Amino acid sequence: MSKDWIDWHRAYDDPDSSLSERRQVVSGMVRRFLDEAPPGPLRCLSLCAGEAPDLVDAAAGHARLADVNGVAVELHPDLAAAARSNLGAVGLAIEVRQADASHPAEYVDVLPVDLLLLVGIFGNISDEDVRRTVTAVPALCKLGGTVIWTRHRKPPDLTPQIRVWFDDAGTVSTGFVSRDDGLFGVGGERTTVTADANTLPATLFRFR
Ligand SMILES: C[S@@+](CC[C@H](N)C(=O)[O-])C[C@H]1O[C@@H](n2cnc3c(N)ncnc32)[C@H](O)[C@@H]1O
């Protein structure tokens, strides 16, 4: 990995950073998913999960905590270990896999999921890879599944196009939040169609 992702995470230490603000927005959307989810187990998948701050924030102490299961995929060994520790500390039964999240083969066994987190990915991959990943959503999620995604809005702002790609993939928007300065955008989607996991490409994206 070329970028120092450990150092990148330290922006979370500043509660006033744009990253901390983004975390609050994402966690709020995850909390809404938990609040509104029907009874029963809730399977989650977080790709490029980092230290898993969003899942931890949202699920800690939540009434549905015991229903949550799934997988968080993170390539960096230290960040994967931190995610494992953070998730365990709040009692979340999410398995952390230190693996390449661009390869669906690494988590095909848990598909389809109720909640898919694509947080901190779309600003680091090519437009074509964003499109490929969005197109793959129906094969990753259950019918009515929730997707939460992020992308900065720096010019040229790709978020309008991303939202069209989600529409084309058969999802409906459940919300979109962004800062005026374009430092982040957070989108929520709900799937209205599904596809077989066998249709997934071998590789979804490549980090720049
Ligand atoms: C921008 S950070 C986002 C982390 C987390 N989702 C968050 O919002 O706090 C990107 C993360 O992706 C991880 N990463 C990069 N390439 C990856 C890959 N191919 N598979 C899994 N994780 C990857 C990095 O180590 C880093 O933790």
Question: C-alpha distances in angstroms, 103 versus 69, 72, 116, 207?
Answer: 20, 13, 15, 12
Is any atom of ligand 1 closer than 6 Å to the C-beta of 80? no
Rounded to whole angstroms, how far apart are CA atoms 146 and 37? 10
Please give the distance, rounded to the nearest whole angstrom, from the Cα atom of residue 20 to the centre of ligand 1: 16
Q: Is the CB of 79 under 6 A from ligand 1?
A: yes
Place of tokens 């969003």: 54
Q: What is the pLDDT of residue 1?
A: 61
Over residues 113-124, the pLDDT tens digits come to 999 999 999 999
Cβ of 76 below 6 Å from ligand 1: yes
Residues of the chain with pLDDT under 50: none
Compute, in angstroms, the gap from residue 48 CA to the centroid of ligand 1: 4
pLDDT reported for residue 2: 61
DSSP letters spanning 150-172: EE--PSS--HHHHHHHHHHHTEE
Helix 159-169 to helix 127-135 angle (10° resolution) is 30
Evaluate: CB of 119 within 6 angstroms of ligand 1: yes
Please tell me the distance between residue 177's alpha carbon and the centre of ligand 1 in angstroms. 21
3 state SS of 111 = coil
For residue 185, list its beta bridge partners: 151, 178
Ligand 1 centre distance from Cα of residue 75 (Å): 7
Q: Which of 48, 116, 151, 207 to mutate to test the pocket of ligand 1 (most atoms within 8 A of CB)?
A: 48
| CA–CA distance, 64 with 27 (Å, rounded to integer) | 14
For residue 162, what are the β-bridge partners? none
How far, CA to CA in Å, does 175 sit from each of 36, 61, 124, 163, 198? 15, 24, 22, 11, 29
* CA-wise closest residue to 65 among 28, 93, 97: 93
26 lines ligand 1 (CB under 6 A): no
49 lines ligand 1 (CB under 6 A): yes
Q: Are 132 and 168 in contact (CB under 8 A)?
A: no
**Kind plus residue range of the DSSP H or E element containing 129:** helix 127-135
